[in-house]
Amino acid sequence: MSGALDRLDSGIYPPLFRELRTLAGNYWWSWQPDGPELFRDISPSRWEEAGHNPRRLLDTTPLSRLTELDVDPRFRARARDLLARFAADLAARSSWAEGLAPRLTPERPVAYFSAEFAIHESLPIYAGGLGVLAGDHLKSASDLGVPLIAVGLLYRQGYFRQDLDRSSWQNERYVDIDVAALPIQRVVGTDGAPLSVTISIAHRRVHVSIWRVQVGRVPLYLLDTNRDDNEERDRWITGHLYGGNQDTRLVQELTLGIGGVRALRALGVQPAVFHMNEGHSAFLTLELLREQLTAGMPLEGAQAHVRAQCVFTTHTPITAGHDVFGVELVDTFLADYWADLEISRETLLNFGRRRPGDAWEPFGMTPLAMRFARSTNGVSRKHGEVCRAMWRDLWKRRKPDAVPIGHVTNGIHVPTWTAPAARALLAEHLGPAWESRLDDPELPARIDAIPDEQLWELRNRLRRHLVAAVRAHAHATRARKGEDEHFVAAADALLDPGVLTVGFARRMATYKRLSLIVHDPARMVRFISDPERPLQFVLAGKAHPFDNEAKRTLQELARVRQPVEQLGRIVYLENYDVALARWLVQGCDVWLNLPRRPLEASGTSGQKVIANGGLNISVLDGWWIEGYAGDNGWPVGDHLDGNPKTQDDADAEALYAVLEREVVPLFYERDARGIPVGWLTRMRASMRSMLPFFNTHRMLRQYTEQIYLRGPDGGSR
């Protein structure tokens, strides 16, 4: 690192690379055409070693190489083009975004709070779909020019890296984030000194540092307690994402909610709206309440004032996904707080209860958020319905239909998830900047006009890229573990670039049912080893560190894989992250989603395959209920019974049947040109019907117009 600064100071860093180093300080590059590719081409091997962090790449590449590129006209032209687009994009205006004023302005933005953000693989402060959604939300806010700032936590060791041992048991490995090498800046005050805030936890003063990561036009502020002036145990508050016990979780959430509001005040920001992305940040409502009470406002008025500013998105119908804390924990950690608030302990505890006054009920973050939010929404139409039934207690047990919880269906940030080759093809046929015009009424006709040869060539190319990436990943993993050299070399023959490729990757939560794939191992093996029309599987996903059942499923999967291992047609990739996810959603022909209904609130990974020409096979749950239209993918299981065991049997049978009778024949049925025309018809239907809706530009416009800009709903709690 000091080497890099020496280079900058001594003036020997070629000027073009000074500019690229500045560009590398904003994650904007990561979703631009030729952004990642430009940096990668500086030195492909160092790009991998640098974990796709361009700062580190530039700092570790020998000056001789930079000087060589500095006089390469092709490289210079590419770099100049990217730098020009950066400047233009940060300054871009749109009439839609300007029309948000005066309700939303850079001085009065939306403050978006989340415990995780997936911006890029080099910043491992996310675990799964919740973080991906938050990251994609910020990128669309930047693209559309919505005044929005974000608040999260800077975890010292992020989320864990996954290692499977010889028996395929998952072990977790924790690695320190290299703050010095990442584009993360310490926020300083007007006096130039680092800005920090203090919160009180169990009678201790905890100091919180504030960092800033730039995501295009959107600043993401990250809080961190790893400071010399904190006690050792408090330095670990922001140690790990979802790694600790209940105590850790509670103090993390206090840091995010209370520390987050204080950090914004220290920065001089007065948000117009506080958006709680999941209940983890709901303590922010208490801090907003404290501000009003300290200023002398009576409790009722203060509550109304807080409600007018807060909105809440809930993300799961699974009980364990809603944090609750025992009363004794709240007593321990919030003791100073209710004294500050000058409200009684009972009043505070009741804020977190479905049934105020029920002394047996613990303190829940979801009731707290709902009680203080003027708007609560679920993340798909079905999930909205499930939430209304689930939380009606909070509205004095109204009929579910009368519970004021709506929905905004999740989307994905199309530029982030679409392969360069697919972006280029779609730009050719849909026009430049097609990603920001997905609602163009011309889109369907233009998709239909893409010639068969080009569409099919795209699929073949993306499948080949995936196969190459899988081989490289498996080779590197096996070599790192010191496996036997034949086994390492065998990685280079995994998968077949001509075979129908099916992907399944997500957190290994039990309800997501990876296990269905191997429900009938013999039948799966028959599919995989069919001499004429084979199938191959690429699988990935981490189990939560404490979820032994999910870890056992991974072991069981390994046992099923063994007999067909030499065919190399079922591959499990370790250490699922957003980089792996990109390869998978871009390269797979078919994407599987097999949740136990109705537990998938939305799911988003299936949406990522659409622009890449992948097709979905999914249980009709979450987003797929809205996405499936008869001809644009396949549903699994129309039969619903209350018994998980027989439900699994029925859904596995339905999955095998759809693969055998529809998916495999359609893929292998070729015309005289060798093209599967029926498959391409389905691909076009998938893009045409779903691209316009399942994206975060649409999602963010909806949040902005229907929630951020709307007044209080008036429903009483």
Ligand X SMILES: *Cc1c(COP(=O)(O)O)cnc(C)c1O
Among 168, 281, 605, 696, binds ligand X (CB under 6 A): 605
Q: Give me the least distance between CB of 72 and ligand X, in Å please.
A: 34
CA torsion, ordered 547, 551, 554, 558, to nearest 10 deg = -170
Which residue type sits at 353?
R
Please report the beta strands in 257-385, taking only residues with DSSP state E, as ranges in sequence order.
273-277, 310-313, 324-325, 363-364, 375-378
Side-chain-side CA neighbours of 134 within 13 Å: the count stands at 30
Closer CB to ligand X, residue 249 or residue 582? 582
**Spatial distance between the Cα atoms of 200 and 568, rounded to a whole number of angstroms:** 55
Q: Give me the least distance between CB of 246 and ligand X, in Å please.
A: 24
Q: Give me the least distance between CB of 619 and ligand X, in Å please.
A: 12
Span interacting with ligand X, options 459-467, 603-611, 624-632, 660-668, rule CB under 6 A: 603-611
Decide: is 603 part of the binding site for ligand X (CB under 6 A): yes
Q: Give me the least distance between CB of 553 and ligand X, in Å please.
A: 15
**Spatial distance between the Cα atoms of 173 and 188, rounded to a whole number of angstroms:** 33
Side-chain-side CA neighbours of 111 within 13 Å: the count stands at 29
| Residue of 54, 85, 217, 247 lying closest to 148 (CA atoms) | 217
Closer CB to ligand X, residue 129 or residue 598? 129
Instruction: Provide the β-strand partners of residue 615.
Output: 590
**Spatial distance between the Cα atoms of 573 and 668, rounded to a whole number of angstroms:** 26
Restricted to residues 90-129, the positions that interact with ligand X (CB under 6 A) are 128-129
| Region of residue 633 (left: phi > 0; alpha: psi -120 to 50; beta: else) | left
634-653 footprint of ligand X as x/- string (CB under 6 A): --------------------
| Residue of 67, 82, 56 lying closest to 47 (CA atoms) | 56
**Spatial distance between the Cα atoms of 468 and 604, rounded to a whole number of angstroms:** 25
Q: Give me the least distance between CB of 451 and ligand X, in Å please.
A: 30
**Spatial distance between the Cα atoms of 424 and 610, rounded to a whole number of angstroms:** 15
Contact present, 495 and 568 (Cβ < 8 Å): yes
- Residues in the interface with ligand X (CB under 6 A) total 11
What does the block give as tokens for 71? 């006089």
**Spatial distance between the Cα atoms of 352 and 358, rounded to a whole number of angstroms:** 11
Closer CB to ligand X, residue 312 or residue 591? 591
- Evaluated on CA atoms 409, 413, 419, 421, the torsion sign reads positive
Closer CB to ligand X, residue 338 or residue 623? 623
Pairing of strands 185-186, 204-215: antiparallel
Q: Give me the least distance between CB of 509 and ligand X, in Å please.
A: 8
Q: Give me the least distance between CB of 417 and ligand X, in Å please.
A: 8
Q: Give me the least distance between CB of 597 and ligand X, in Å please.
A: 15
Q: Give me the least distance between CB of 348 and ligand X, in Å please.
A: 35
Span interacting with ligand X, options 220-228, 287-295, 601-609, 631-639, rule CB under 6 A: 601-609
492-521 footprint of ligand X as x/- string (CB under 6 A): --------------x---------------
Contact present, 278 and 114 (Cβ < 8 Å): yes
Instruction: Provide the β-strand partners of residue 199.
Output: 206
Q: Give me the least distance between CB of 539 and ligand X, in Å please.
A: 13
Closer CB to ligand X, residue 374 or residue 698? 698
Helices (H), 117-205: 129-144
Closer CB to ligand X, residue 261 or residue 599? 599
Contact present, 57 and 48 (Cβ < 8 Å): no
Restricted to residues 179-238, the positions that interact with ligand X (CB under 6 A) are none
411-430 footprint of ligand X as x/- string (CB under 6 A): --------------------
Q: Give me the least distance between CB of 593 and ligand X, in Å please.
A: 6
Closer CB to ligand X, residue 543 or residue 680? 543
Q: What count of residues does the chain have?
A: 717
What does the block give as tokens for 635? 């549903």
Which residue type sits at 212?
R
Side-chain-side CA neighbours of 611 within 13 Å: the count stands at 31
Closer CB to ligand X, residue 133 or residue 208? 133
437-476 footprint of ligand X as x/- string (CB under 6 A): ----------------------------------------
Restricted to residues 561-600, the positions that interact with ligand X (CB under 6 A) are 576-578, 581
123-162 footprint of ligand X as x/- string (CB under 6 A): -----xx--x------------------------------
Q: For tokens 């016990």, what's the residue?
A: 245
Q: Give me the least distance between CB of 316 and ligand X, in Å please.
A: 11
Span interacting with ligand X, options 97-105, 181-189, 428-436, 602-610, rule CB under 6 A: 602-610
Q: For tokens 């079922």, what's the residue?
A: 570
Q: Give me the least distance between CB of 543 and ligand X, in Å please.
A: 13
Q: Give me the least distance between CB of 119 and ligand X, in Å please.
A: 12
Residue 160 gets which letter from DSSP?
Answer: P
Closer CB to ligand X, residue 86 or residue 694? 694
Cβ count near 21 (within 10 Å): 19
Closer CB to ligand X, residue 220 or residue 349? 220
Q: Give me the least distance between CB of 268 and ligand X, in Å please.
A: 35
Backbone angles phi, psi at 500, to 5 degrees: -50, 120
Cβ count near 91 (within 10 Å): 8
Instruction: Provide the β-strand partners of residue 505.
Output: 540
Q: Give me the least distance between CB of 208 and ligand X, in Å please.
A: 28
Closer CB to ligand X, residue 309 or residue 602? 602
Closer CB to ligand X, residue 132 or residue 349? 132
Closer CB to ligand X, residue 330 or residue 578? 578
Q: Give me the least distance between CB of 132 and ligand X, in Å please.
A: 4
Closer CB to ligand X, residue 211 or residue 576? 576
Closer CB to ligand X, residue 386 or residue 578? 578
Closer CB to ligand X, residue 142 or residue 696? 696
Residues 6 or more apart from 531 whose CB is under 8 A from it? none
Closer CB to ligand X, residue 28 or residue 576? 576
Helices (H), 113-209: 129-144
Helix axes 284-294, 299-309, angle to 10 degrees: 130
Q: How many helices (H) and strands (E) does the chain have?
A: 32, 20
Among 604, 618, 632, 696, binds ligand X (CB under 6 A): 604
**Spatial distance between the Cα atoms of 462 and 684, rounded to a whole number of angstroms:** 17
Pairing of strands 196-201, 405-407: unpaired
Burial-class residue 673 by CB neighbours within 10 Å (0-12, 13-18, 19+).
Answer: exposed
Residues binding ligand X (CB under 6 A): 128-129, 132, 506, 576-578, 581, 603-605
